[in-house]
């Protein structure tokens, strides 16, 4: 029997221990799988990050059209009215006057009330902001006198209530009325949709300004800005 030389045995041993080579096709497939996984992870992260930002904006702006369905966004419960005399904080009556509150919120978002003037002030009755050419129900209230014997003490008849005319509104027709005294037939005149809970002294200061014979303030008093809030 022929004997195998030690050198030949050493070469055979090295061949057995040498690792097998990875083919180029395997490397390319592995790289492609890694790329696809990384791509989907990055895409998912960007999607959810963008969605989170949009949700925060929707809540901040009270469900503005084009951002989301308003039914899925919490309706602001308060409004801050900044006037040239000071700031007035109002709680909105969403449950009592849902349609009017929705219209009011939409107009606030459009800047409808910014720059609006308090063009009629009747002491111990009401202050009115809106179209300077509109008369509305405010002047009618003066015809019945300033004192009543049997006042309806319903919450909506008290002082410092926020309301608007019951007439059909147009682009300029949504006016604001803030009562400064109890008014027994208030529901016949305006739709109440809020109550002043901060800044009653500002309302009273506006009420005390000098007016002419038509209850028009002699010095301009305007609304500088109106903002909606979830907390006050």
Closest CA to 104 of 95, 114, 112: 112
Mean pLDDT of 133-146: 52
Whole-number Å distance between alpha carbons of 8 and 114: 99
**Residue linked to tokens 């949709």:** 193
Which helix H or strand E contains 128, and what residues bound it? strand 126-130
End-to-end CA distance of the chain: 105
Whole-number Å distance between alpha carbons of 138 and 136: 6
Q: Are 205 and 85 in contact (CB under 8 A)?
A: yes
Q: Tens of pLDDT along 187-200?
A: 677 889 999 999 99
Closest CA to 117 of 131, 136, 107: 131
Q: Are 167 and 177 in contact (CB under 8 A)?
A: no
Whole-number Å distance between alpha carbons of 132 and 164: 15
Using DSSP's 3-state secondary structure scheme, residue 120 falls into strand
Is residue 158's pLDDT more than 80?
A: yes
Q: Collect contacts of 49-53 with beta carbons under 8 A, ≥24 apart.
A: none
Task: Annotate 129-181 with DSSP letters as a single string.
Answer: EE-TT---STGGGGGG-S--SS----GGGSSSEEEEESSPP-TTT--EEEESS
- Determine the topology of domain 75-229 in CATH: Cyclophilin (2.40.100)
Whole-number Å distance between alpha carbons of 78 and 232: 7
Mean pLDDT of 107-131: 92
pTM: 0.63
- The residue ranges of every structural domain in the chain are 22-74, 75-229
Q: In this predicted structure, what is the pLDDT of residue 227?
A: 95
pLDDT, mean over the chain: 77
Q: Tens of pLDDT along 27-66?
A: 888 888 888 888 878 787 777 666 554 555 444 444 444 3
């Amino acid at each position: 029997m022929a004997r195998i030389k030690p050198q030949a045995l050493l070469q055979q041993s090295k061949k057995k221990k040498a690792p097998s080579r990875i083919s180029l096709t395997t490397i390319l497939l592995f790289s492609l799988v890694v790329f696809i996984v990384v791509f989907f992870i990055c895409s998912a992260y960007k999607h959810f990050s963008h969605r989170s930002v949009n949700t925060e904006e929707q809540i901040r702006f009270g469900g503005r059209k084009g951002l989301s369905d308003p039914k899925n966004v919490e309706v602001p419960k308060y409004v801050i009215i900044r006037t040239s005399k000071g700031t007035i904080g109002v709680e909105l009556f969403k449950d009592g006057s849902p349609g009017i509150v929705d219209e009011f919120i939409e107009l606030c978002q459009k800047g409808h009330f910014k720059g609006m003037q308090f063009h009629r002030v009747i002491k111990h009755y009401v202050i009115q902001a809106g179209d300077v050419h509109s008369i509305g129900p405010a002047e009618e209230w003066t015809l019945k006198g300033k004192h009543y014997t049997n006042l309806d003490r319903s919450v909506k008849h008290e002082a410092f209530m926020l309301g608007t005319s019951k007439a059909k509104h147009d682009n300029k027709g949504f006016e604001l009325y803030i009562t400064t005294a109890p008014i027994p037939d208030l529901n016949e005149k305006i739709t109440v949709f809020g109550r002043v809970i901060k800044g009653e002294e500002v309302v009273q200061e506006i009420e005390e300004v000098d007016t002419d014979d038509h209850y028009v303030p002699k010095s301009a008093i305007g609304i500088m800005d109106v903002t909606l809030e979830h907390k006050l």
